[in-house]
Structure 1
């Protein structure tokens, strides 16, 4: 039938894809060559003949089938899937589906339909040709990940644009002059998308909040909070609700609780803490055993379910700890006042009381409401001094608690817990928030003492509820769970660790834990400590909140929860409410409802951690801004196809050496072996290697530090 000359392969290929797209876009309705031509607006007889040839050829290849004479249809029907947009820097995206066994779906830029990074979308997946990756097209945006962005206002005479900070937001936002809200050129602000017309390249927005001058400390810290979706202040209704809560504790309320006001009780916290949500009580019993009380601020007494305060706390999910400030989950009146277990004040608590013998065996336990009167507010440093000098306030109590904590800790590690001691970087800041120095925060016995008793309370509360009900009728609860590492991730880490002379035994969970603990002990203080610790943590699964009763691998606990920090974590508030409900004989609550609350809490926890990391990166960049040209020794902390990350040994600041800037060879990534290799000279740079770097460039806006390699 066709008399035309053959087209070039590339043109034919494009036309073939357009033809197949027509079937996909029309619900795979059977079509003949004239109908396909019409839908492609093709009227030329020769071109229509070409389309007929393509239909026949794709039928021969078994991509199409001829369902009736001259009518064709795709063999593999299109399928609809839902997923999350993971945008790439070139404007295309991969759609990450909910099914972990399903491959990501590639979507070309022109088929994204204005979907943005993180959006929940509905995609239809094209019929897959042999050997091709799955591709698709966004047909509906189900839920926007965010509509607000931080960035810089750029003004011209008749209009304005907003340049977002988010590197995965590839569209500038058009701001009509009437929607500027007083913003001036170059100012940092928060913009909200209010419309995105169908044919428009850019969304339309309005300036919602002016943050201030770019580079100012408050401006930048508030921008980080806004970027990760944390509000900069509490709504008036929430503040009003907090202020209206009565200060006094009534005799009737005290009568409902165990009165611990005459029992020795104290708090141990960082020197700059203002919210004290846990206290320890200690007394020697008549039988010679010890009673240790873990008393936790009774936040759920003050926050009524579904109140404005409760909804705000749930939305935030957690307090956020940036380099220079804490953004509390609860208004200051509660977090630093009513709920904070300040010394020499009566305070309401939810407690876990334990009777322990000399060997820290638990003889009995009790959970319920208490009222306390803290005798002393200790800092970690003060308690550490008591432990080391055996002198000071409450010396006997502290030394005995430390002794019992040591036994609990030892028992935990024998059971297979893993000790990850990462170095925590802290900045010395001047009055304007500018970093003047960097130091490493040490974790000593005082920190571990508190941690071990908090772990005990969390574990025992979880075990107590887990025993309620049987089989499918187990009581719903909020657990903190942590899966065992995936074998391939662990094998990869073990292979890498072996290069430094560390052996990881992967025969069983217990052996893995034991050898990881030996490694963590051995590596302490060595240059490769941070690299190996972070890689080990990355090979582990992430801990999450869930109603499902699985174990906590990292702590080697069969059941675990978060009970001890309700001032700064919403899941702990849920745990308090559920525990009280069950202690009073309540029946199991709806698991599906609580699982959704847990998912939100896990998401907000991750978001807070990302914001905290961003604030550290900003301060690192700010610290090195005045040190362009300085030479430091560093350790290679990461390798990618475009460069290698190096962490400066002296101050733990991390930057990148771009491969294109290493002039002695052409380097490529060997991903499997965590290294880059020179193609001609075969010089290798491995993760963990020590190198000399020069600070080349600092981009504060992008929180980016560039190094150049100082070669021998």
Structure 2
């Protein structure tokens, strides 16, 4: 063996040894040169060639940005999404049945919240540690390339403070990239470079949304924060405008005509798009014919058009506090497809013959033309259900309400969950400033509509599922699926409920649903109701769209689809098209194309829900910022952490924090196992569900946060006198400060 070959082998061995023994972080060629004490350029080139040989041999692996690792991607890497929870650390989530991977800020590799990343485990989960630790070795896909934030302009540059979750550092903007923005503007910045360890991100201002604090600017900033579109492209608007409002006679002839049957809508008082209507008549045999009529959006939005492309891209309407960002242009959503009273409309219908026990005896699905006789608000319909006489509609609404109660009771008997969370609403002035907060309570009028929409969704899904030949796979359909809860999350909730004095049995689906419904009954009307219901909902899996029929756990349905809201949900348009295809005698459709669209729709629905929550949170904080600071509010402990106590303010749904650092009467320690903090000297316990009184200390609109001051707990006034905690045995007391 020549001396040169021996030298190369020896060098390769030394390089491999370096990467095998240095696994605390990712190392670069420069790190390797320094370790080997190589400073000559020719020697560096020789080492670099050795590294490239080792990569070709599969013994070393590039990890991005000039870094290398000994671990092979095929065996040691995990792919997941980063949740960058605070400036110090984050978690990579990759499997509901596996613990999230803890990532420190030094091991982020420049990743941002929502990025899809590859991770290598550096420390396995131990008895004390709830999560394994890891480091990000590669960013597979970026979640965003734009960031929304507030700009501060200096003489030769600007800094943008991001409003985006998971982006914890300012973005540098060069002077020639500011594009007319001025200090305190809300802007959209396109990232030029991403942050790295010790290196600031840089970007260019692409849009100025308006001044921070302006309602329109803030709402548009929320949409941009979640990457959701606001305005429609002009070509899409032009295509919508070109659609004729007249219904051709030849189209009417293709449809079932139900215009002479009593038909009405029930919607919120401020609704503009009415996408569902009910028709009702008593048949000669004494049974009832109930029609659920849904706007026939698929008649106007055709495959291959710009309208179709835009509807799929958006996938859902977004409902912010003061506005709706529709999935379809206004010409369609509020006009052509809206089932407005006293107008003929094209609909896709599910018509059932039912008896007074709410049993479906016959069913028919197909396209109709209808005419709404009256538009009810929920409040108007509720007045009739509460006893107000109406010669035409009193018997109809009472009959439908009785049937709805039967349908509802049957669902609960079969294991459906009875979660009744109240909706937070605002009274706003003309400029969007919040004048008041209230919680909208669901009454029978809401539940009546809900039950018949559930009935239509369930029967459509069941019809398609049973349509195909018995000995073959069911026909492809887009289902709304809701899987059973993750066992570990369920175990945590059960343990928590037990500590709160409630018994939850989870041995079977039936036991779990019965226990949860019993819990909801026990807490109804109590201060802890909203908090416990919210925790129970978070324990459940998230509903989503899929071509796999996995059933709907929360509703206790074996087959369930979304059919009833095509104006605001793209999956409903897919369901209409697929149902018509099968009614026309078509064979099973290929699942892959629809599964991809279902996954996209689920992702867009999640973003829309996050934007809606952000707008509610912003308005809650804005409302509290306008209130006098000496007002005392009733609250309930809704969460406990090692740095503070979350408090939900009664009747508002707004949540703020009492920071432990502000509790100066004692030194409070976090008791994670029992969801509480305990005063070291006094033994005072502040735990989940505890009633207390608070004042607003500060509000931060940029962070959408409220800091609270504790006034009293369980009627006992909170004192600000701060005793000095005695040091624990074995610990050295802190040195006294010199004055």
- Superposition TM-score, scaled by structure 2 size: 0.84
Count of matched residue pairs: 664
For residues 514 and 103 of structure 1, what CA distance do their matches in structure 2 show?
28
- Whether the 8 Å CA contact 1:629–1:696 is kept in 2: the answer is no
Contact 1:297 1:340 in 2 (8 A): yes
Could you tell me how far 1:547 is from its partner in structure 2?
1.2
> Following TM superposition, by how much is the alpha carbon of 1:497 offset from its aligned partner in structure 2, in angstroms?
3.6
Aligned partners of 2:97 and 2:486 also within 8 Å: no
**1:100-179 equivalence runs, <5 A:** 100=96, 104-124=100-120, 137-179=135-177
Residue aligned with 1:81, SS:
strand
Q: Which residue of 1 aligns with 2:6?
A: none
Equivalences for residues 623-634 of structure 1 within 5 A:
623-625=623-625, 626-634=627-635
User: For 1:361-380, what aligned pairs fall within 5 Å after superposition?
Assistant: 361-380=359-378
Distance 1:618 1:377, change over 3 A: same
Matched, 1:286 2:277: no
> In the aligned structure 2, how far is the partner of 1:702 from the partner of 1:333?
37
> Which residue is 2:433 aligned to?
434
Distance 2:113 2:228 in 1: 18
Tell whether the 8 Å contact from 2:346 to 2:370 is kept in structure 1 after alignment: yes
- 1:310 pairs, out of 302, 308, 329, with 308
Q: 5+ unaligned residues in a row in structure 2: which ranges?
A: 1-16, 40-58, 60-68, 718-739
1:265-319 deviation line (CA, Å, top 9, x unaligned): 1100011000000000111112111110000001111111232212222221211
Alignment root-mean-square deviation, CA:
3.0
- How far 1:399 moved relative to its partner? 1.8
What's the CA shift for 1:471?
6.6
Look up the SS of the partner of 2:22 in the other structure: helix
Q: Which residue in 1 is equivalent to 2:589? A: 589
Relative to structure 1, the CA distance from residue 96 to residue 444 in structure 2 (aligned partners, 3 Å threshold; closer, same or farther) is closer
Deviations 1:193-244 (A, max 9, x none): 1345999923332222211111111111111111111112111111111111
Partner of 1:544: 544
Residue 235 of structure 2 aligns with which residue? Answer: 237
Mapping of residues 451-600 of structure 1, within 5 Å: 451-469=450-468, 470=470, 473-498=473-498, 501-600=501-600
Superposition map of 1:232-271 within 5 A = 232-271=230-269
The C-alpha deviation readout for 1:408-435, integer Å capped at 9, x for no partner, is 1122222221111112221111122111
Aligned residues of 1:22 and 1:36 also touching (Cα < 8 A): no
Change (3 A) 1:549 1:641: same
* Matching residue within 71, 81, 84 for 1:84: 81
Cα 1:198–1:306 shift into 2, 3 Å = farther
Distance 1:166 1:584 in 2: 48
Deviation at 1:583, TM superposition (A): 1.3
Work out the CA distance in 2 between the residues paired with 1:36 and 1:216: 50
1:448 and 2:444 aligned: no
- What runs of 5+ residues in structure 1 fail to find an aligned partner? 1-15, 29-34, 45-63, 65-72
- 1:150 offset after TM fit, Å? 1.2
Aligned counterpart, 1:192: 190
TM-score using structure 1 length = 0.87
Write out per-residue CA displacement over residues 518-544 of structure 1, whole angstroms, 9 at most, x where no aligned residue.
332332221111112112212222211
Distance in 2 (CA, whole Å) between partners of 1:177 and 1:554 is 54
1:60 is matched with which residue? none
Q: Work out whether residues 23 and 74 of structure 1, in 8 Å CA contact, stay in contact via their aligned partners in 2.
A: no
CA distance in 1, matches of 2:324, 2:683: 48
After superposition, give the CA deviation of every residue in 1:98-155 in whole Å (9 maximum; x if it has no partner): x445554455545533221111123455698999986655444321101111111221
- Using a 3 Å threshold, how does the CA distance of structure 1 residues 349 and 170 change in structure 2: closer, same or farther? same
Distance 1:630 1:553, change over 3 A: same
Distance between the aligned counterparts of 2:552 and 2:248, measured in 1?
40
Residue aligned with 2:266, SS: strand
CA contact under 8 A between 1:269 and 1:276: conserved in structure 2?
yes
| 161-170 vs 190-199, greater mean Cα deviation | 190-199
CA drift at 1:512: 2.5
SS where residue 577 of structure 1 aligns? Answer: helix
Aligned equivalents of 2:77, 2:516: Cα separation in 1: 44
8 Å contact kept, 1:74–1:127? no
Instruction: Report the Cα distance in structure 1 between the residues aligned to 2:86 and 2:408, rounded to whole angstroms.
Output: 46
Match of 1:300 in 2: 298
User: Does the Cα contact within 8 Å between 2:484 and 2:540 map onto a contact in 1?
Assistant: yes
Distance 1:152 1:683, change over 3 A: same
> 2-side partners of 1:491 and 1:200: how far apart?
41
**Relative to structure 1, is the Cα distance of residues 650 and 23 closer, same or farther in structure 2, using a 3 angstrom cutoff?**
closer
Secondary structure at 1:452 match in 2: helix
SS of aligned partner of 1:693: strand
